[in-house]
């Protein structure tokens, strides 16, 4: 299966999977040679496509029983914020190192092409926080799993995770110890 024939999603109809996948630009050799970067900025520029994505995430998060939404820097914020607004839920920011001003907890992790660090405010989780974590892309799973661990480190319960795009050949969902939901899966390439 190629990018022109993405896998089905329980959160979007087959027609919408096709439509939304066409709105995601593939940038070859970015950020390094051999990488096929799935760029959601072209999806964000299409109000109809973006609204279908937000609606799907609203259904996903409601189904999980979340009472808070966490967005992973930075494109995860672009999905988490409108979803949190639509569902009237608090939003939690999972940020890169030294971006949060308050007391925070951090975690180092490996990326598909390097390593990084994420941080979260110690006081960001609501009481009895059932948190759904959102990001744009699931590749090797390191970023998403680090976000899950951070939410748990500050007292939250992760009730699910969701990404717009998944690259299943990298087996990222196997690294994440919580339910993983995705809208578009690109096989191969």
Q: Which residues are catalytic?
A: 75, 112
Q: Give the number of other Cβ atoms within 10 Å of residue 2's Cβ.
A: 9
Structural element, H or E, at residue 149: helix 142-153
Instruction: Compute CA distances 182 → 58, 77, 78, 137, 173, whole Å.
Output: 13, 16, 16, 9, 10
* DSSP state, residue 145: H
* DSSP state, residue 65: T
Helices (H) and strands (E) in the chain, counts: 6, 9
Nearest to 182 by CA among 57, 69, 19, 77: 57
Gap between the Cα atoms of 41 and 127, Å rounded: 34
């Amino acid at each position: 299966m190629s990018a022109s024939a993405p896998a089905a999603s329980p959160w979007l109809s087959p027609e919408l999977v096709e439509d939304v996948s066409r709105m995601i630009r593939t940038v070859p050799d970015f950020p390094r040679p051999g990488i096929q970067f799935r760029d959601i900025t072209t999806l964000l520029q299409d109000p109809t496509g973006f609204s279908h994505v937000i609606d799907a995430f609203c259904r996903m998060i409601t189904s999980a029983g979340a009472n808070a939404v966490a967005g992973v820097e930075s494109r995860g914020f672009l999905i988490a914020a409108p979803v949190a607004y639509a569902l009237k839920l608090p939003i939690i920011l999972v940020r890169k190192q030294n971006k949060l001003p308050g007391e925070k907890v951090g975690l180092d992790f490996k990326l598909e092409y390097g390593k990084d660090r994420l941080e979260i405010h110690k006081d960001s989780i609501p009481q009895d926080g059932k948190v759904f974590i959102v990001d744009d892309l699931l590749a090797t799973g390191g970023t998403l799993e680090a976000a899950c661990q951070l939410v748990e480190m500050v007292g939250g319960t992760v009730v699910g995770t969701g990404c717009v795009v998944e690259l299943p050949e990298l087996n990222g969902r196997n690294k994440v110890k919580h339910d993983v939901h995705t809208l578009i899966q690109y096989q191969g390439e």
